[in-house]
Amino acid sequence: METSEKRTSAREDGTPARPDAALLRRATDWMLRLEAAPDDRGLRRELDAWLAADDAHRQAWRRVRGAWDLIGEAPADPEVWPGETATRRRRPGPGALAGLALAACLLLAVLPGAWRYWQADYRAPVGDTLALTLSDGSRVMLGAGSALAEDFSDSRRRVRLLDGEAFFEVAEDRRPFLVQAGEMEARDIGTAFNARADDQGYAVAVRDGEVAVRYRDGEHRLLAGDQLALDRDGGARRHRLPPDRVAAWREGRLFVQGRTLADLAETLERHAPGYILIADGDLAARRVTGSYDLTDIDGALSAMVQPHGGRVLHITPLLRIVL
């Protein structure tokens, strides 16, 4: 998991970079794991190594600690815990875990996700989709917990998928239709297609027509039934699927081909309030293929992790931990 989390720790002007959502998620995972096992020195050494690897890791950890400080449970000195001089001894009770759930959900909702929503023209709430028509007549179904910005000009139609997932049915127009998500750009060539952007990377799947996807130095041409997954570290995986399964989330189904459990946990969080922690890094990196019911998030999560020996522990209505 480390390669996908590694980020530049400073901007070009030399000022520290804000930690991205993947690093904040990882730092929150560390916090929850150490709260559950405060006397595990091996776990503390693993965290120390992660913190030492990059200044961005330490900055993410400080932000998570700050969120925890807000609910009054952490020691005042952010450098003390979880070092060797830490004084925590008792295992957290339900109240502390509920507080952690609150802190985790608040952190991941506000830092850094809120800026994406501030930029958005259209937003879908967690657990619900949003159907909309753009100014050119193109129809969009915006996935749960997703955000989209419209940026049209006389020469081109561009939308920015700031977070989440969207299905596009593009209206005919002399101007090209572009979907931008971070470093990825998908150019419509008369089609209907799905695009996804999250902490793990990007994906495009085509139902009808053709789409040209540019990512970093490469371009990929996709036809109906093609699905392309792009990792933030530069990896690309291409799959085939029946075209009628593209964007099946619109009907409450999730068809998965080779996605990691960490990636799927983020997707499920868009469909139900709360936070899903996968406490084991190896388990989080396992890849899953299957079909799942998005109207039953707990059932879907259990079905995803059980074949890999995982089980789901419900700490509060807002926190699920996979062990």
235 and 140: one domain? yes
Has residue 174 been placed in a domain?
yes
- pLDDT at position 180, please? 95
- Tell me, what's the pLDDT at 152? 94
Domain assignment present for residue 81? The answer is yes
How many angstroms separate the CA atoms of 170 and 187, rounded?
11
Residue 1 Cα distances to 26, 199, 264, 285, angstroms: 9, 12, 14, 7
13 and 99 co-located in one domain: yes
Q: 199 and 261: one domain?
A: no
| One pLDDT digit (tens) per residue for the chain, 323 residues | 333 343 333 433 333 344 456 677 777 777 777 776 778 888 888 888 989 988 888 887 877 776 555 444 444 334 444 443 333 334 444 455 555 555 555 555 444 455 555 678 999 988 999 999 999 999 999 999 999 999 999 999 999 999 999 999 999 999 999 999 989 999 998 889 999 998 888 999 999 999 999 998 789 999 999 999 998 877 889 999 999 999 999 999 999 888 999 899 989 999 988 888 887 888 888 999 999 999 999 999 999 999 999 989 887 777 888 88
Is 196 in the same domain as 161? yes
Q: Mark whether 218 and 145 lie in a shared domain.
A: yes
User: 148 and 73: one domain?
Assistant: no
Residue 122 lies in a domain: no
Give the domain-ending residue among 111, 146, 163.
111
- Rounded CA-CA distance 151/272 in Å is 30
Statement to judge: residues 233 and 290 lie in one domain:
no
* Residue 40 domain boundaries: 2-111
- Domain shared by 306 and 275, yes or no: yes
Tell whether 148 is covered by a domain.
yes
For residue 287, the domain's CATH number is: 3.55.50.30
For residue 272, tell me if it sits in a domain: yes
Instruction: Return the half-sphere exposure (C-beta side, CA atoms, 13 A cut-off) of residue 185.
Output: 11
Q: What is the pTM of this model?
A: 0.69
Q: Are residues 166 and 75 in the same domain?
A: no
| Structural domains in the chain (count) | 3
With respect to residue 116, please indicate whether it lies within any of the assigned structural domains: no
Residues 9 and 61 in one domain: yes
Domain end, chosen from 111, 146, 177, is at 111
210 and 258 in a single domain? The answer is no
Q: Going by C-beta distance under 8 Å and a sequence separation of 6 or more, which residues neighbour residue 154?
A: 175
Query: Is 17 a member of any domain?
Result: yes
CATH code for the domain of 206: 2.60.120.1440
Q: 62, 81, 111 — which closes off a domain? A: 111
Do residues 211 and 257 both lie within one domain? no
Q: How many Å apart are CA 69 and CA 126, to the nearest integer?
A: 26
Does 126 reside within a domain?
no
